[in-house]
Structure 1
Amino acid sequence: MARTPPPQVTLAEVRAELAALEDPRMRAVNARHGDDHGVNLTGLRGLAKRLKTQQPLALELWATGDADERLLAVLVCRPRDFSLDELDTMLREARLPKVHGWLVDHVVEKSPHVEELRGRWLADADPVVESAGWALTTDRVAKAPDGLDLPGLLDEIEARMAAAPDRLQWAMNHCLAQIGIEHPAHRERAVAIGERLQVLADYPTPRGCTAPFAPVWIAEIVRRQELTPAR
């Protein structure tokens, strides 16, 4: 069966639809966390599902610089169509946490350039850019750890995480927790590093959510895994 082609819409039409999804209360909450987007994300995803993949539209949306429009661009683009340098430029433009995170998760991780970008960003002097390298490393820790120097990663986390800027610190802490969760041979050391550094130990965590403090995070996810029967 032939695929239904995506609806042909103009940038102006899409921007009007996004404006209708604006939620002032959501924008206010996001602003307190350093973000600048106010669309209802469920509605945004529904719009992206209807538009399907449209690379030219995605490029137009990204070029506006608007956070909401860039989030939609991430969902309707074709990740494999971007060159390494295009993705590098986009990442450096994506300073807002939500746009930055979605770009890494939904686009860069699906790119054939992901490993080269991971190495490039880990070596970058900009801590926000470096945090993207750590996010990609965390993904590899979970999905494709062969070839990674896990003890070396733990050494670097132990030496640098406590003094790292917030965004970089969060990314390194996630990597620390993922190593402890996925690799039992390194779990004791990962927990010990978290206990010694106390990074995010006092982070306010809503009831029912897992705390980002690495020792607690590791223990809780491992507990859940042990309760889940193997298939």
Structure 2
Amino acid sequence: MAETTLTEVMAELAALEDPKIRAVNEKHGDDHGVNLTKLRALAKRLKTRQDLARQLWETGDSAARLLALLICRPKAFERDELDGMLRGARTPKVHDWLVNYVVKKHPEAEELRLAWFADPDPVVASAGWALTTERVAKKPEGLDLGGLLDVIEAEMKDAPDRLQWAMNHCLAQIGIEHARHRTRALGIGERLEVLKDYPTPPGCTSPFAPIWIGEMVRRQEDKS
């Protein structure tokens, strides 16, 4: 059976477009209207197809790029290629999936983390912070956690939205995972009040760091 072509996949994506989903997504800065469960089902059917993934990415279409990230082989990309992809990832969902589904699995993720962390573009820097947060949780050896808290304390309050969100996640993760830094992390969160008034749906944990840290630590203690 012939493999599905780019034209056929783009037609399928167009058929999945839902104006109501697009309207919701656009409020969050995303410009696609495809149900993600249906997108994942399409990816499962296509399986891993690196060449098709690259073709989908090159279209610039957000739904196509999300699909590309689900069917690609993360290790097949060159480091510079991933850097270019991140800088060209125009929307939050594409940016997040690229970092979480591809970059985190790449053998040069640490080199990219260091390069992006200090980048003058706040969206690129937010990817560096996201990768740093992953290390805080899973591989903190060699990280200067106190130094990270210094930067967060000095810069998070006035950081652009996406960078601020990424810094706040790192602050919370340090407080959750590292008891000796918890008091300071809580204090920074209380003083800066970043995301203190963020609307949080019932049953969800507030992203305000002191509440987030307290809730996750309580859950850990309940399990032990």
Which amino acid in structure 2 is aligned with residue 11 of structure 1? Answer: L
1:16 corresponds to which residue? 11
Tell whether 2:176 aligns with 1:184: no
Tell whether 2:72 aligns with 1:77: yes
Given that 1:27 and 1:38 are in contact with CA atoms closer than 8 Å, whether structure 2 keeps it comes out as: yes
Shift of 1:7: 7.0
Distance 2:187 2:142 in 1: 24
Shift of 1:95: 2.1
Instruction: Map 1:107-126; keep pairs closer than 5 Å.
Output: 107-126=102-121
Given that 1:80 and 1:111 are in contact with CA atoms closer than 8 Å, whether structure 2 keeps it comes out as: yes
Q: For residue 165 of structure 2, give the secondary structure of its aligned residue in structure 1.
A: helix
Instruction: Map 1:213-224; keep pairs closer than 5 Å.
Output: 213-224=208-219
Instruction: Map 1:70-149; keep pairs closer than 5 Å.
Output: 70-149=65-144
Deviations 1:184-210 (A, max 9, x none): 111111010000000000001111111
List gaps (5 residues or longer) in structure 1. Answer: 1-5
List gaps (5 residues or longer) in structure 2. Answer: none
Q: Percent identity?
A: 71
Given that 1:95 and 1:128 are in contact with CA atoms closer than 8 Å, whether structure 2 keeps it comes out as: no
Distance 2:183 2:40 in 1: 40
Shift of 1:82: 0.6
Moved over 2 A (4+): none
Distance 2:137 2:44 in 1: 28
Q: For residue 162 of structure 1, give the secondary structure of its aligned residue in structure 2.
A: coil
Distance 2:170 2:209 in 1: 9
TM-score by length of 1: 0.95
Deviations 1:1-37 (A, max 9, x none): xxxxx97110011111112221211110111111112
2:195 corresponds to which residue? 200
Distance 2:118 2:40 in 1: 33
Which amino acid in structure 1 is aligned with residue 12 of structure 2? Answer: E
The aligned length equals 224
Which shifted more, 17-26 or 60-69? Answer: 17-26
1:3 corresponds to which residue? none
